[in-house]
Structure 1
């Protein structure tokens, strides 16, 4: 009967002393040197640099092919204890081209056969990651679930940044398979859920620092110096940061939906509103100097990914729960907090209205729960109108004609429980205050 790899041992002699050690041990590696990955040189006219890049890519293909050909024990010894492998893996996950960068010019078109070379590395790397995330390759080669969880965690095979990068690279074209891989990793090692919470807190800390870059102690920084290279550089850097962040988390959610509620409980959606509102404010100033026109397509992609991410969290963690009658009062409280922040961050709200309709959500919450009164509904609806009027795009402003009259107006006039007076003087007052019954009105 086959024995799980994490329960296999061997005897190793050290002089006259015999030591019983795990088969999965540092002594099992070949000291194979793995070449680190570098992105395509920016200057594709530099023949020397391109030739070196091609040579390096070829070495990486050979290294990954060799690794995948190793038997189960040998493979896991290499990935667990060979530091060069970890350096190669980290370099690839960090620098490999992301799908969201397809807006940029395809530099591979002028280099013969090299797009195929990059794609081959991507395929081999994915096969390697697939093997790393599988605790049972066959009836002969496998780990116990508990042993697998310890091996991948204790040897830093995976951590949250690596999982994010893997999703960013592969979720679009390998969603189904990657979903099984990521799900198995979280299932076999519960510590990753805690690490995810810690990672979210770290991301929020980074976001807070970036937001402070564009604020002073008295409030938002006046960007009269946006024409300076340093200020424009900060704006562009923030744009790419938000794009990478939103794309990565969207891809992560697409393969691991359970991660949404963890992000939501850490109030990441509120942080996202503040981050993108800050960027929209400085982007608006930069447009006045006409120095950011080259980044319009990047901005539109960033806007779409960010708003989609926010709506995904709102819909999956609040709206769906309301429709299913799960924790109704708690979810309504969360939604009210979100609504209250949205109407103060009007640039973000206007951007949201380009793709979705907050008034419909407000109406849905009202119809489903009855916990929003007419005054609240009117307040939120007016906030949406103001955001669209001031910051909405032309297509978004066309929605204003379809925004319904606030429910407070309709419900007040249709409130049949209020007794209408036949006294003309009382009627004049009731016209101004239609919710008042005649018994509360005295006319001298």
Structure 2
């Protein structure tokens, strides 16, 4: 072993050599002198390892007390002695301990990992023991920060210094400074005071200056945030049972299963915000990783679902307040990104980032409410005149429209009033007490504004899982949004711990209306109509007939009076008499009833009679002679052409605006009957065209008639509509 240690001599380095070149000449017990490097394991002569630090907080923001606080005080005093020992060493001894004694650096890392977050400040002024413990913790934090500052310092004096190359290699190769350690330092120190921000900035600037490799590590750390957001989303969907980021086990004293997820989200938010505050040069990396849109999507999808689940389990949980702080920090992060882009003149990147965030409506509403985007865009147009105005107008209008469509907010602050009406703890207590009537699920509004039908959803679950009880299914439906999620959670065996331990055969008892009526009126009845509009005991004027004695008012006294009741027949008689009161008009003044439909009548004399003619009239006319009808028709024509005046109103006069259609129809029917009345079947085919039966030969007249019909068939029927219309107008039948 070497003795005659001269390391404490201030003149041990007269040539002012750097640490990697400095050596000390020491002699051993045998008198042999030997040169020992200044950075060597020889200087680590402490046998006792450095003490590990215990966390001052018991769990989730609660301070220790009693025996646990006394144990922490004892461990903290030992840790303070170790830190003071390291800081009292000379440079080469200090670096030898930090490089060759693993427990020294492990103690520092453990303290930063278990340090109190700067954003979790607890009022300890009322408790003397906690006040002294808080002062002791402040001393420990000061010692650890001083130790890290010494690690970042390469030159302590003219004779104690390290070359920049060796300094960076020592820090990076031996993991004396790492990105996780810097992140823990951010949470431990924070930015509550301006001096803290300046101190952290000096540490980060010195570390990045000494070793540029830390710049790459910071970029890798930013990539981690995307997977962190995904991990938290998975934990929320899995009811927070597995713990985000490695989280706590289920036997820890938790207010809700989601406390660990909320704390992890809040730690990520504060760390990222401080990192952007201290290292603005990471802006380009953040743009490449699309970190701002990832934050907006996490804000829009995971945070509302996380808040809703916590509120259902415990509406008074502290994690709700932490979650609101986390939301605010994520908004500040995006605001910091926008500010850095504005300062660096990256207008196009700013517009693209804000445009990508438009899909996250929850984030857009909250961001626009705190930082109106139109103000930033006005400054952006002034600094970047080359940016396209229509893109700016599109983004601004999108943010303004989102805020206008949701004036009351849609995030966690408003879900307590607009969302769940009954808490999970209250319902659980009522189920335990056996009073399930109070837990009758009221129709609750869903995301799209419709009303949930719990009974219908229970039926849907029972169709798939008939072995479950209706009461157990109702508990699950209160926690989940719809029956599909309940079925998936049961089949995947992914129920929350509090629901997984419940009786799955629990039966639901419908609520009793008498209990509600008794709570409202103070009266308890046993009538089927209790509380409704027919209740004569609670209403002064019930909507019913109060029966007194036998029978109802106005009812028959006996069966004979009932059978003699002719009131129904009288009502029927009065009803049908109304149909008989129809005004009848005569044709004496030339009026006529034009209800007759002549739409399908033939248009001229040469056309075959329509099938719509009444068969009865044709049969009656068939018995008369066609020659008599023709003579009567000729007599009518001679009288009309002879100038004889007929006083009957059926004849057309010059004073008539148009001839009476009834007269025209009657005259037309006479002609048709006289012409076709004697022919069988009422068809208009000429016998000369029909001819003899087949196989008996045809006469010359038949063949001539058939040829004439074939030659002139285009002038009739559907081929001569214009002539038919002209004929109708000539007769005064204007159609």
2:55 pairs with one of 23, 32, 39: 39
- Is the Cα–Cα contact under 8 Å of residues 98 and 105 in structure 2 kept in the other structure? yes
Residue of structure 1 in register with 2:133 after alignment:
114
Structure 2 residue matching 1:5: 3-state secondary structure:
coil
- Is the Cα–Cα contact under 8 Å of residues 33 and 84 in structure 1 kept in the other structure? yes
* Residues 1:169 and 1:354: Cα distance change in structure 2 (over 3 Å): farther
Correspondence list, 1:144-223, <5 A: 144-172=163-191, 173=193, 174-214=196-236
* Residues 1:376 and 1:52: Cα distance change in structure 2 (over 3 Å): closer
* Residues 1:75 and 1:321: Cα distance change in structure 2 (over 3 Å): same
* Residues 1:213 and 1:167: Cα distance change in structure 2 (over 3 Å): closer
- Is the Cα–Cα contact under 8 Å of residues 36 and 92 in structure 1 kept in the other structure? yes
Residue range with higher mean Cα deviation, 83-92 or 267-276: 267-276
Structure 1 residues not aligned, in runs of 5+: 217-227, 323-327, 396-444
Q: Report the alpha carbon displacement of residue 119 of structure 1 after superposing the two structures with TM.
A: 1.3
Is the aligned partner of 1:254 residue 2:277?
A: yes
Structure 1 residue matching 2:138: 3-state secondary structure:
helix
Residue of structure 2 in register with 1:29 after alignment:
44
Residue of structure 2 in register with 1:294 after alignment:
317
TM-score by length of 1: 0.74
* Residues 1:343 and 1:92: Cα distance change in structure 2 (over 3 Å): same
CA distance in 1, matches of 2:323, 2:106: 33
Structure 2 residues not aligned, in runs of 5+: 1-14, 239-249, 415-735
- Is the Cα–Cα contact under 8 Å of residues 171 and 254 in structure 1 kept in the other structure? no
CA distance in 1, matches of 2:184, 2:330: 17
Residue of structure 2 in register with 1:321 after alignment:
344
Is the aligned partner of 1:139 residue 2:161?
A: no
Structure 2 residue matching 1:156: 3-state secondary structure:
coil
Cα deviation, 1:181-202, whole Å, max 9, x if unaligned, reads 2201100101000111112212
Please identify the structure whose Cα radius of gyration is greater: 2
Q: Report the alpha carbon displacement of residue 44 of structure 1 after superposing the two structures with TM.
A: 6.7
Residue of structure 2 in register with 1:221 after alignment:
none
Residue of structure 2 in register with 1:398 after alignment:
none
Is the aligned partner of 1:129 residue 2:148?
A: yes
- Is the Cα–Cα contact under 8 Å of residues 6 and 148 in structure 1 kept in the other structure? no
Is the aligned partner of 1:57 residue 2:80?
A: no
* Residues 1:336 and 1:54: Cα distance change in structure 2 (over 3 Å): same
* Residues 1:352 and 1:229: Cα distance change in structure 2 (over 3 Å): farther
Structure 2 residue matching 1:100: 3-state secondary structure:
coil
Q: Report the alpha carbon displacement of residue 93 of structure 1 after superposing the two structures with TM.
A: 0.6
Q: Report the alpha carbon displacement of residue 38 of structure 1 after superposing the two structures with TM.
A: 0.9
Give 1 or 2: higher helix fraction.
Answer: 1
* Residues 1:366 and 1:41: Cα distance change in structure 2 (over 3 Å): closer
Structure 2 residue matching 1:80: 3-state secondary structure:
helix
Residue of structure 1 in register with 2:22 after alignment:
8
- Is the Cα–Cα contact under 8 Å of residues 201 and 278 in structure 2 kept in the other structure? yes
Structure 1 residue matching 2:153: 3-state secondary structure:
coil
Structure 2 residue matching 1:139: 3-state secondary structure:
coil
Is the aligned partner of 1:239 residue 2:262?
A: yes
- Is the Cα–Cα contact under 8 Å of residues 164 and 248 in structure 1 kept in the other structure? yes
Structure 2 residue matching 1:27: 3-state secondary structure:
helix
Q: Report the alpha carbon displacement of residue 387 of structure 1 after superposing the two structures with TM.
A: 5.0
- Is the Cα–Cα contact under 8 Å of residues 171 and 252 in structure 1 kept in the other structure? no
Residue of structure 2 in register with 1:421 after alignment:
none
Q: Report the alpha carbon displacement of residue 393 of structure 1 after superposing the two structures with TM.
A: 9.0
1:304 pairs with one of 309, 328, 332: 328
CA distance in 2, matches of 1:107, 1:375: 53
Residue of structure 2 in register with 1:278 after alignment:
301
* Residues 1:9 and 1:207: Cα distance change in structure 2 (over 3 Å): farther
- Is the Cα–Cα contact under 8 Å of residues 287 and 293 in structure 1 kept in the other structure? no
